[in-house]
Amino acid sequence: MDTPARLLLVRHGVTDWNRERRWQGHTDIPLNDEGRAQAGKVAERLKDEGITALYTSDLQRAAETADTIGRALGVDAVRTTAFREISLGELEGTAPSPDTHRGEAVSETARNGGPLAPGAEAFETLEARLVEGYRAICDAHAGETVGIVSHGGALRTLIAHLVGIAPTHIDRMSLKRNTCVSEIDFRLGHPQLTLINCGRHLDDGTSAPPRA
């Protein structure tokens, strides 16, 4: 299978629910003003990366981030459900605590072998749709540099799939910084994780990292 030359993976900008430490999942929460400012900063950072195609989760916190990036790059962001966050069902809108959660949602779902809560998404479903989205990019953009704007759990799952990290260890990767950039490089014939959770475009003192 052909692959892109590089994937640049961007987590969406911050939302009010991020600041309140509430699970979002498929709940369609918009960026707040800080998140919109972060989107502008990551867009400026990515202007010279040679991105020729841009894909995004259709949830508005990711799509708005991607639209800001796309305007800076002169590239239209393609919205798709493939890159949505994992659905957490009845847990969405709640704040995780030691009494109700053990571990991070995606890894815990993989350990359980099924949905984490009523109405939630199984890990196998999440991984399958992410891989489907990735393969569509391979078919359409072999040898190109492609951007994907998505969510923390979804991006960690895709990274784990590409570089061979066990699903139950996904919580050992951190993508906590909103609009953090990670990179997968395929130019040596296999995927290499060359950058993860990089928020240097935010390191001007105006965007504090969220607690969760």
- For residue 109, tell me if it sits in a domain: no
186: nearest Cα among 148, 149, 138, 154: 138
- For residue 84, tell me if it sits in a domain: yes
Query: Whole-prediction pTM value?
Result: 0.93
Q: How many helices and strands (H and E) does the chain possess?
A: 6, 6
CA distance 173 to 157: 10
The pLDDT of 185-194, averaged and rounded, is 97
- For residue 135, tell me if it sits in a domain: yes
pLDDT tens digits, 53-78:
999 999 999 999 999 999 999 999 99
Whether the CB-CB separation of 5 and 35 falls below 8 Å is answered with no
pLDDT of 212 higher than 50: no
Q: What is the CATH number of the domain that holds 38?
A: 3.40.50.1240
**Count of the separate structural domains present in the chain:** 1
- For residue 130, tell me if it sits in a domain: yes
Residue 105 backbone dihedrals phi, psi, to 5 degrees: -60, -45
CA distance 101 to 193: 29
Give the β-pairing of 181-185 and 192-198: antiparallel
The answer to whether 121 is a known catalytic residue is: no
- For residue 153, tell me if it sits in a domain: yes
Q: For residue 205, what pLDDT is reported?
A: 53
Number of CB atoms found within 10 A of residue 163's CB? 13
- For residue 170, tell me if it sits in a domain: yes
Range of the domain at 163: 6-95+122-202
The answer to whether 12 is a known catalytic residue is: yes
Whether the CB-CB separation of 88 and 23 falls below 8 Å is answered with yes
pLDDT tens digits, 101-137:
555 789 989 988 889 899 999 999 999 999 999 999 9
Lowest-pLDDT range of 3-7, 14-18, 67-71, 103-107: 103-107
- For residue 192, tell me if it sits in a domain: yes
The single residue of 12, 26, 141, 201 carrying the catalytic annotation is 12
- For residue 103, tell me if it sits in a domain: no
CA distance 202 to 116: 33
The single residue of 34, 85, 104, 127 carrying the catalytic annotation is 85
